[in-house]
Every structure is written in structure tokens, then in C-alpha cells.
Amino acid sequence: MMKKLTIFLAGLFFAGLFATLASAHDVKAGAIEIGHPHARAMVPGAKVGGGYLTFVNNGSIDDKLVSIICDRAKSSEVHQMSVSNGVMTMRPVAGGLVVPAGQTVELKPGGYHIMFMDVAKPFKEGEIVKATLTFEKAGPVDVEFAVGSLSGTNASAGDTHSDMGGMDMSKPQ
């Protein structure tokens, strides 16, 4: 009897734990599931910050991220980072980021990312940065970006966001 109760309580505990983990920052807009939105802490004086997350389109029609509004930044856009001839470049994704039906699009260091531009107060580790993402079909959704460490919790080689403070958009990095 006692053992049964213990197992039951343990079950409740784990169910609660997983519910907490899953709902921490994950949100849904229509058929679009948004996973693990996080941002990189910025060095003092830096003007641009990077935001990362995952979009899963569970629907049967393609959707498109058409706008990002964040009150911490003057403007926010989706960028694509790529390497050509050994030179890292990044450019805005024109016309919105397409999230094809049934597919996952990952925004991560070194690839697609959200670029917060003209940030007045650099993001600090532990902060939550709120933004409203608008999809063409799924509509607007509020997202909370958890600010991680300066170097990033999942830093990958080739990421230059930590030193983008002096980034010049017209020049390759």
C-alpha cells in the first residue's frame, strides 16, 4: 500500500516536472509550434543581439514568418548566416522566413537567426526578452526569449554573434 502510494507520488512528480520543462517557453500559434526561444547575452555597448528558436509546422500548408516586433530593439529581422569562399556573411531573409508544411526550421548560431537591431539596453544573462512574431497564416504569437550566457549555452564553431557589436551589415564578417 505504502509502496503504491510512493510510486504514485513519484509519477505525479515526474509528470509535473515534464509539464514544466515542456511549457517553460514553448508556445503555439495555430499549426506552428515554437520551441526553446533563447537569446545570447550581449556585451556592454553592443547594439545587435541574436535570437534562436525552432519552428515546427504541423499543418498541411506552408506558412511564413513575416514580422518580429520586440520593444527592446528598434527593428528585428530574420538573417541567414552562410559561408562562401571561407568568408562568413549574413543577410536578411527577404520576404519572410518560410516554414514549409510538415517541416521544422531551426534558427541557430551559424544559420538562420533573429537579429535584434539597435538594442538600447544590451540583453543580460537571466533576462527574458519578449517579442511578438507574426505568421502569415497562423497570425501573431508572443514569444519569450530566455537570455543565456555571453558565449551561449550551445555555442557552435563559426558563430560570430558574440562579437557582432561592431557589425557592419554591408561587409562580410
Binding footprint of Cu ion on the chain (CB under 5 A): 79, 90, 115
Q: How far apart are CA 151 and CA 42, in angstroms?
A: 9
| Of residues 29 and 112, the one with the C-beta less far from Cu ion | 112
Report the candidate in 104, 103, 129, 105 with the shortest Cα–Cα distance to residue 50: 129
CB of 152 to Cu ion, least distance (A): 14
CB of 115 to Cu ion, least distance (A): 4
CB of 108 to Cu ion, least distance (A): 12
| Of residues 53 and 90, the one with the C-beta less far from Cu ion | 90
CB of 166 to Cu ion, least distance (A): 13
Exposed/middle/buried for residue 9 (C-beta within 10 Å: 0-12, 13-18, 19+): exposed
| Of residues 38 and 79, the one with the C-beta less far from Cu ion | 79
**Which single residue brings its beta carbon nearest to Cu ion?**
79
Q: How far apart are CA 149 and CA 58, in angstroms?
A: 31
CB atoms within 10 A of CB 153: 9
| Of residues 31 and 78, the one with the C-beta less far from Cu ion | 78
SS3 138: coil
